[in-house]
Amino acid sequence: MMRTRPLKVALLGCGVVGSEVARIMTTHADDLAARIGAPVELAGVAVRRPSKVREGIDPALITTDATALVRRGDIDVAIEVIGGIEPARSLITTAFENGASVVSANKALLAEDGAALHAAAEKYGRDLYYEAAVAGAIPLVRPLRESLAGDKVNRVLGIVNGTTNFILDKMDTSGAGYSEALDEATALGYAEADPTADVEGFDAAAKAAILAGIAFHTRVKIGDVHREGITEVTAADIASARRMGCTVKLLAICERAADGASVTARVHPAMIPLSHPLASVREAYNAVFVEAEAAGQLMFYGPGAGGSPTASAVLGDLVAVCRNKLGESTGPGESAYTRLPVSPMGEVVTRYHISLDVADKPGVLAQVATVFAEQGVSIDTVRQQGKDGEASLVVVTHRAPDAALSGTVEALRKLDTVRGVASIMRVEGE
Amino acid sequence: MMRTRPLKVALLGCGVVGSEVARIMTTHADDLAARIGAPVELAGVAVRRPSKVREGIDPALITTDATALVRRGDIDVAIEVIGGIEPARSLITTAFENGASVVSANKALLAEDGAALHAAAEKYGRDLYYEAAVAGAIPLVRPLRESLAGDKVNRVLGIVNGTTNFILDKMDTSGAGYSEALDEATALGYAEADPTADVEGFDAAAKAAILAGIAFHTRVKIGDVHREGITEVTAADIASARRMGCTVKLLAICERAADGASVTARVHPAMIPLSHPLASVREAYNAVFVEAEAAGQLMFYGPGAGGSPTASAVLGDLVAVCRNKLGESTGPGESAYTRLPVSPMGEVVTRYHISLDVADKPGVLAQVATVFAEQGVSIDTVRQQGKDGEASLVVVTHRAPDAALSGTVEALRKLDTVRGVASIMRVEGE
């Protein structure tokens, strides 16, 4: 069964993930060959800094001209682990044009321009695989695209950013504030020097766009994803969550509307019950909870980032793409036949946990309750706490459109008796 | 892209799973067609009792002659949801011979004779998919066979039987004994009238064999799997586990030996720490924890049984197999190139939690410790509790070959000062 002519692989990028991919391709060459049915050979490695010492990689393979590498014409598979939009996008397209299939770990690009890349792959009859783009090593793209291909996914709820999960978990277990927890994450290498992409939810939003597209067989771009980060989550929010039997997580949430005619995708911190399987996802782990019509509730858990886990996902795709090459076939391409519109955040139906600082005098609750009623928002529970002329009012609403809930908060801010809105957080996973 | 000639599907068996498969094929026909690229048509349904009313299925499709159905020659895919060894095995082989690929949910058959079935599929150039055979709707076979194809799996630890997990969870949360918990499981429909296959671990052993084969690219048959059920787990065992910060689960454990030259597969109750992700798998849910060299620790969680979840897995396979048919290709076949021997239980390295009833007099601990030392088993912790001339001694060992551990227990039983071995349980997941 084994053919002897090796499949040629171009590695585009050789940072943390790329160097690990190259290492495993060398150390596990026999296993990869047995699983593919042919040996795979690293034919070239495109880098920005050719002078850097790269252990285990033949210096003769190193090039700074990535375009020339993918244009050689003898490349079977290009592995793109450069990240960002350009030059990654042009290189992938050039690879397709020149006979190569592509394995990519590039969430930003897939979330920005996935449809065009899929179209190019289809035009040239190539594969585009990207398991590593969402939640690192956790098999997620393939299970959603293939295992659940006979089912109807209604909801995806994911912890898809390890940095923010580490910070929130630290705040939850130690009572630390946001800054303190961020400092610890930075010191331990879980947060980058500039943590913006993680803590402001951009990274999670890209993954939400990819997940929503795959789950609902439609197209969702990162610009369609409502995004809120965790920088305003306070120790008081976490303590409030605890009192409700909840914990706070940054969630990527993709939902099909009840009528099936639209979808939504959003990223924001939310309280989830401690009994929810996602609540026990600690430290920098990721997990994605999927609700499907026939399958019910599934969860996929694992390390969401890091060189080795991401390389594992890349190599799993490499094996699949190589097998397809040998069989002269391609795997499933983009499935976006539903073309469902993406509704804005205001139309998402959700629940709010609102903590108000109010004057400690009679009639305040009545005033507050009236505002909720005027906005058409039904209250689930209210807890009042008074101390020294000050009082706090914690309201948890029933489900309502997000626009009505945020409108309620705006109206509450205008009440004389409301001294401040101490915290607002959505409640999910119930 | 859509072709109009439908792919023809033969449904072999129309019980809980089969009728759900037929229902979804009808209600979701448009989605399935869009995802496959061609419509799928139910061409025949083989049943044992043709007179039974089957809602939503055209009576003209019903036949009692399953062999004639798969011999028709126009069947593209046969879905085997009969279960058991025969006639399922002959029908699958006949389907391959007559041009059909096969989707099966038959764990017993795959665990007994998977190699022969894979060989037949390869001989005739057909697909054999069986996601539904392990852990119901949880995507597991595909992630292990494909997503982790570029990685090296070292260990699989799974809760793969919902009935036993329900019983053990009930014992854990309510303090109930085994019989009481089994009665409740039976009353709620989680246990069958004859629960032997579940509570004695036969069902889990079949799944362990399949998982071990896929994870390690080798062949493991159900007869190679060491099997112990949960019928002897007592409320006292569960209480002991609690005192150690553990819970008791029936685990299917597949391991690669440290030297990589052999594998083991076993099913038995074990204590696992409450902090382990498997510990929070409640009720009848299943979950499989995978340790891979590059990916790290992954977990897959979901409903392990039931008509709808199992149908979801069957239909995911159906979509894949139909796509392959249209592309005139086949998916990955059996990958058993390592042909690693399966070591017997005695060679498995594990830890024991042993609870002894002993005479409450000086020197007992010294006697007991001597027995452990003679067997070459190192003790991790000992806890002594005395009451009214009686005493109990709870010993947790370090890791040692199972043969040495069970030899130690035999030797302990022979000591005059040991009145009885109250409980023995392995400790896993640390």
* Residue pLDDT, tens place only, B32-52: 999 999 999 999 999 999 988
Architecture of domain A151-301: 2-Layer Sandwich (3.30)
Distances (CA, A) of A179 to A168, A170, A281, A340, A356: 11, 11, 21, 40, 23
pLDDT, average across residues A313-333 = 93
Phi, psi at A264, each rounded to 5°: -135, 155
Residue of A nearest to B216 (CA): A31
Please give the single-letter amino acid code of residue B139. Answer: P
Q: What pLDDT is attached to residue B360?
A: 85
Residue A288 has pLDDT above 90, yes or no: yes
A207 labelled catalytic:
yes
Share above pLDDT 90 across residues of chain B, in percent, rounded to a whole number:
88
Cα first-last separation, chain B: 51
Query: Which of A50-59, A412-421, B281-290 shows the lowest per-residue confidence on average (mean pLDDT)?
Result: A50-59
* Residue pLDDT, tens place only, B240-249: 999 999 999 9
Q: What pLDDT is attached to residue A66?
A: 98
Confidence tier at A2 by pLDDT (50, 70, 90):
low
Q: How many other CB atoms are there within 10 angstroms of residue A399's CB atom?
A: 14
Residue B222 has pLDDT above 60, yes or no: yes
Q: What pLDDT is attached to residue B321?
A: 97
Residue of A nearest to B323 (CA): A332
> Which residues 6+ apart lie within 8 Å of A351 measured at CB?
A380, A396, A397, A398, A399, A400, A405, A426, A427, A428, A430
Q: A245: alpha, beta or left, given left = phi > 0 and alpha = psi -120 to 50?
A: left
Cβ of A312 and B295 within 8 Å? yes
Residue A186 has pLDDT above 70, yes or no: yes
Please give the single-letter amino acid code of residue A72. Answer: R
Cβ of B34 and A302 within 8 Å? no
How many angstroms separate the CA of residue A290 from the nearest CA in chain B? Answer: 9
Q: What pLDDT is attached to residue B332?
A: 87
pLDDT, average across residues B189-195 = 93
Residue B238 has pLDDT above 80, yes or no: yes
Architecture of domain B141-302: 2-Layer Sandwich (3.30)
ipTM of predicted complex:
0.92
Distances (CA, A) of A161 to A21, A95, B21: 22, 30, 36
Residue B2 has pLDDT above 80, yes or no: no
Out of B8, B52, B123, B207, pick the active-site residue: B207
Cβ of B320 and A35 within 8 Å? no
Residue B173 has pLDDT above 80, yes or no: yes
Mean pLDDT of chain A, nearest integer:
94
Rounded distance, CA B218 to CA B300, Å? 22
Residues in A closer than 8 angstroms to B299, CB to CB, are 299-302
Residue A7 has pLDDT above 80, yes or no: yes
Domain boundaries, chain A: 7-136+307-326, 151-301, 345-427
pLDDT, average across residues A40-57 = 92
Q: What pLDDT is attached to residue A1?
A: 52
Residue A320 has pLDDT above 60, yes or no: yes
Out of A52, A123, A207, A414, pick the active-site residue: A207
Token pair for residue A426? 């959505």
Q: Give yes or no for a contact between B171 and B181, defined as CB atoms under 8 angstroms apart.
A: yes
Residue A4 has pLDDT above 80, yes or no: no
> Which residues 6+ apart lie within 8 Å of B243 measured at CB?
none
- Which contiguous run of DSSP H or E holds residue A314? helix A307-326
B296, B311, B318: residue with CB nearest A294: B311
Token pair for residue A102? 């592509």
Architecture of domain A7-136+307-326: 3-Layer(aba) Sandwich (3.40)
Confidence tier at B408 by pLDDT (50, 70, 90):
very high
pLDDT, average across residues B221-230 = 97
Residues in B closer than 8 angstroms to A303, CB to CB, are 295-297
DSSP secondary structure letter of residue A414: T
Query: Which of A351-365, B155-169, B286-300 shows the lowest per-residue confidence on average (mean pLDDT)?
Result: A351-365
Residues in B closer than 8 angstroms to A131, CB to CB, are 147
Q: Which of B118, B130, B148 has its CA nearest to residue B334?
A: B118
Mean pLDDT of chain B, nearest integer:
94
Cβ of B302 and A295 within 8 Å? yes
Q: How many CB pairs under 8 A join A and B?
A: 195
* Residue pLDDT, tens place only, A165-178: 999 999 999 999 99
pLDDT, average across residues B352-363 = 91
* Residue pLDDT, tens place only, A63-73: 999 999 999 99
Q: What pLDDT is attached to residue B308?
A: 95
Share above pLDDT 70 across residues of chain B, in percent, rounded to a whole number:
99
Burial B17-40 (b: 16+ CB within 10 A, else e): bbbbbbbbbeebeebbbbbbbbbb
Share above pLDDT 90 across residues of chain A, in percent, rounded to a whole number:
88
Share above pLDDT 70 across residues of chain A, in percent, rounded to a whole number:
99
Cβ of A152 and B31 within 8 Å? yes
Q: What pLDDT is attached to residue A133?
A: 94
pLDDT, average across residues A173-188 = 96
Confidence tier at B385 by pLDDT (50, 70, 90):
confident
Cis peptide before A87 (omega within 30 of 0): yes
CATH class of A345-427: alpha beta
